[in-house]
Chains A and B, each alone.
Chain A
Amino acid sequence: MTRTRRLDLAEDALAEAFSRAAERWPRNGVPANPAGWVYTTAHRYVVGRLRAEATAGRKAPLIAVRDGWQPAQDGPDEPADDRLPVILLCCHPAVPTESRSALALRLVIGTPTEQIARLFLVSTPTMAARLTRAKQKIVLAGIPLGMPFDEELRVRLDEVCRTIYLAFTAGYTPGDGQGLVRADLADDAVRLALVLHDLAPDAVQVRAMLALLLLQHSRRDARQRDGRLVTLAEQDRSKWHHDEIRAGLGLVAGLGPGDGYGEELRLQALIAAEHARVSSADATDWHMIARHYAELEARTGSAVVRLNRAVAVAEAHGPHAGLALLADLDELLGASHRLPAVRAELARRAGDIALARASYRRAVERCANEVERAHLTARLEALG
């Protein structure tokens, strides 16, 4: 993209290259340098299109390039790696927030628009329009390709991490109606996180984010059984991907305390690590988890973090302690089904069946996902 400054061509070229890879690699085997193969194929495609346009005499919209920035040079065997400037471009503050993850998935790992639409639970035309608008904004407003420095780079990498994490959690958001686990859609976000870590391995927020994603994603095959939701406590841990856990734990071990968004990610990764490193749920160090959540809540003031903290505190100090933390959350999480669901479970443990019943009812009312609702209904009925 840096040599041609053509956002449109870059996108088409990448999609074409990935589609050819999907066709040929199963037959001919994966090449020794897969990324190189993809980018060389894409590069050839772009050259072909430019030739055709030159013949037709068309004038195309170009993206701006930051003054003074030197893009990487083409190597003898393969074109230069644009991916980091492109990821940073997608997360520029002037790019509409709701388009950033979609654009990054599209332009860096070539995810088909239809798949991105399913990830974010919108129709394909809606997602296509969102992508088009974002690309138009980039070209028309002159948002430039290039590398920011120092503080601006740190802020932009924070935004990239937020963006990738958003794409990841979207894959774990149950759709309306059927289906709970759409974790295969989260694969794309993990892929993107791996690419980013390749490109910026020294950035702490990038390492923390990758650790968090690997640790959470490693549980994907244990989350559902016979169409039912399986809670963390009940999961068959042999179904966890232990190679991913090892990689995640390794990354976490290398992270020191820090600041800002990177520190938030590190705390979340530490929590995920506590779950991942034990072979059975009873061995979980809930005191440690509760401490991490307390720090996270102090940093973010997030109601969702408070909710998760309440669960950890209940495990560590008993249900009444957990219930106390839920007290002022109704205002902040009014539409949530998770809040009443958590309250119901803690109330049940505390022996307050009336509160448990009322809370499960409220949770069932608010839950939009069939599989999750079935799970909550079963819990309600089990109260008797």
Chain B
Amino acid sequence: MKYFVLLAGCGELPLWDDLTPEEQEAGMAQHGEFADACAVKPGVEILGGEALGEGTTATTLRTRGGTVAVTDGPFAEAAEHIGGFYLLEALDLDTVIDLCRILSIYDIEIRPVLDIG
């Protein structure tokens, strides 16, 4: 099963750029730990993953009544804090949950990827 793992700033910590170099290093270390853990878990493969530019770098498109409006910024307040994502192959939800516990600096939303084939 494929899972989309959305990583959002958890509100307890300041935004990435406002972290000290030590805190940033600790954050990056979690990603390293995550990758290592995925490598040894049966049935797990990291299919993709990226760090995203911050909410201020976002551009939003909305189509209403046939007209496309292009605006600066993320499309919802919650979306401001999204900092990255992973796309994972895994056997079940509990496997993903266990792995995501490593990424404790984030609030995480796990969505199944639907097989529309």
Contact = CB atoms under 8 A, between A and B. Distances in A.
A67 interface: yes
A146 B91 CA distance: 13
A276 to B, nearest CB: 40
A60 interface: no
A64 B92 CA distance: 6
Contacts of A128: none
Interface in A67-85: 67-68
Contacts of B110: 141
B93 A67 contact: no
B43 A142 contact: no
Contacts of A68: 42
Interface residues of B, number: 14
Nearest to B97: A94
Nearest to A64: B92
Interface in B66-117: 90-96, 110, 112, 114
A140 B112 contact: yes
B112 A144 contact: no
A20 interface: no
A64 B1 contact: yes
Contacts of B91: 64, 67, 142, 144
A144 B93 contact: yes
Nearest to A139: B112
Interface in B1-23: 1, 3
Interface of A: 64-68, 94, 140-144, 146
28 contacts: A64-B1, A64-B91, A64-B92, A64-B93, A65-B92, A66-B94, A67-B42, A67-B43, A67-B92, A67-B95, A68-B42, A140-B112, A140-B114, A141-B110, A141-B112, A142-B1, A142-B3, A142-B90, A142-B92, A142-B93, A142-B112, A143-B92, A143-B93, A143-B94, A144-B91, A144-B92, A144-B93, A144-B94
Interface of B: 1, 3, 42-43, 90-96, 110, 112, 114
Closest 4 A-B residue pairs measured CB to CB?
A: A64-B92, A144-B92, A142-B93, A142-B92
